[in-house]
Amino acid sequence: MPDVGEGLTEAEILKWYVQVGDTVTDGQVVCEVETAKAAVELPIPFDGTVHELRFPEGTTVDVGQVIISVNVGGGAAPEAPVAEAAPVAAAAPAAPAAEDEEPKGRQPVLVGYGVAASSTKRRARKAPAGAAPAAAPAAPVLVSVPEQLNGHAPAGARPLAKPPVRKLAKDLGVDLATVTPTGPDGIITREDVHAAAAPAPAPAALAPAPVAAPAPAPAQAPAPVAAGVVSSDAREVRIPIKGVRKATAAAMVGSAFTAPHVTEFVTFDITRTMKLVEELKSDKDMAGLRVNPLLLIAKAVLVAVKRNPDINAAWDEAAQEIVLKQYVNLGIAAATPRGLIVPNIKDAHAQTLPELSASLSELVSTAREGKTTPGAMQGGTFTITNVGVFGVDTGTPILNPGEAAILAVGAIKLQPWVHKGKVKARQVTTLALSFDHRLVDGELGSKFLADIAAILEQPKRLITWA
């Protein structure tokens, strides 16, 4: 399992596109995984035959774990190198490898993950729970590990632990070399780290963890794991928190308790903008493009950012600096089956109205298909969330981490409004701007929000103020 995002530690296997016995070629997509940021398709870096699928669909796997093995044929196959900084996406042995055999030759890996070899090797992992064994020879040993001595790795050997466990140990100030491993194959678990961090009431001798024998290859990938677990009284459903939803929750908590939020509101007459939307739909220069109120709202935001550039900034806590962005990567919050994501349009400030329309359409369609890449969600500078599509008048949005402000667009409704001294039915909406009060004071936030409303009240300002 490679790190398909920036520093991600795990991913869920959504779908296998191959089965045991299938022939695969270098670059062929073999599975789809969901990280905390997006769904990503993984290619195989080998030519050969699928020998084993090590985890069923629905399983969350740590980065660096072997998820598939491939028989490449043509003699002894190279062992998969173990390197925490450069995990290999898959290992492909053709025959059992001796424990003391050294890696030979260049190891094929995913582009961008480099080639590394390590003296620390692992025995084959246990087969996943629920896997149906087939009448086949024992699976090849992909990598091996030195014998554990009294529960500890031999002197000079690096302790075995997954990236999240290493981070936990670092946070707690625990030296992994002093921790007694209790996990399979001598791997240090979270419980081991916590036990080492807490003062033990009395020393307890732990038996060496048994080394698992290589498991037979499953005949096929096991059935997917259920999305929710029904409790014993059948009146509650428990849904595991993972993937995009888990990452969103962590980001929102971090944002809410890090940046001091202020929210301001403005309600105004958007009738002229709605008329312009209808005119643009019949304009030949916009033929084939999607024209809606969000398009003109996005354009109004870009013009307002140009007039109030300090709103387009970030707070660098480590450097104690305010970072002013000379570009706008415009994020659009999108509700998807996997949860809320915020992909952004790169350099939106430089796009014409037709280009902005095309970018918005592509962004939304890609998000709905679950094909948004991690890169598309990184580097945003300002976000728009359109709660009006759900019939909601307004809201108090939480900042996307790393940004100074976010705009919530409410529902556009026909309401009584004073227009030219008379009460008339007009299209009215409410905008809500949340901003980081460390970066944006009340004056700047108010001017920026008022500019957006003024542009949408009189859309000719898209020309005069641009």
Give the model's pLDDT for residue 228.
Answer: 54
Residue spans of the chain under pLDDT 50: 74-155, 200-227
pLDDT in tens, 109-153: 443 333 344 444 444 444 444 444 444 444 443 433 333 334 444
Find the Cα–Cα–Cα–Cα dihedral 184, 192, 66, 106, rounded to 10°. Answer: -110
- Full-model pTM: 0.56
CATH number for domain 1-144, candidates 3.40.50.300, 2.40.50.100, 1.10.600.10, 3.50.50.60: 2.40.50.100
pLDDT in tens, 334-356: 888 777 889 999 999 999 999 99
Give the model's pLDDT for residue 50.
Answer: 92
What does the buried/exposed string (b/e) look like for 367-376 if buried means 16 or more CB atoms within 10 Å of the residue's CB?
A: beebebebeb
**Strand ranges (E), 85-199:** 133-138
Give the model's pLDDT for residue 157.
Answer: 59
Q: Tokens at residue 137, please? A: 């020879």
Is the domain spanning 148-213 CATH 4.10.320.10? The answer is yes
* E strand or H helix at 15: strand 10-16
CB 37 within 8 A of CB 239: no
Give the model's pLDDT for residue 340.
Answer: 83
Annotated catalytic residue 51:
no
What is the DSSP annotation of 256-292?
HTTS-EEEEEEEEE-HHHHHHHHHHHT-GGGTTS---
The CATH number of 245-464 is 3.30.559.10
| Domain coordinates in residue numbering, the chain | 1-144, 148-213, 245-464
pLDDT in tens, 178-229: 888 888 778 888 788 878 877 544 444 444 444 444 444 444 444 444 445 5
Determine the Cα–Cα distance for residues 18 and 39; give it in Å rounded to an integer.
Answer: 18
Active-site residue (options: 51, 261, 419, 437): 437
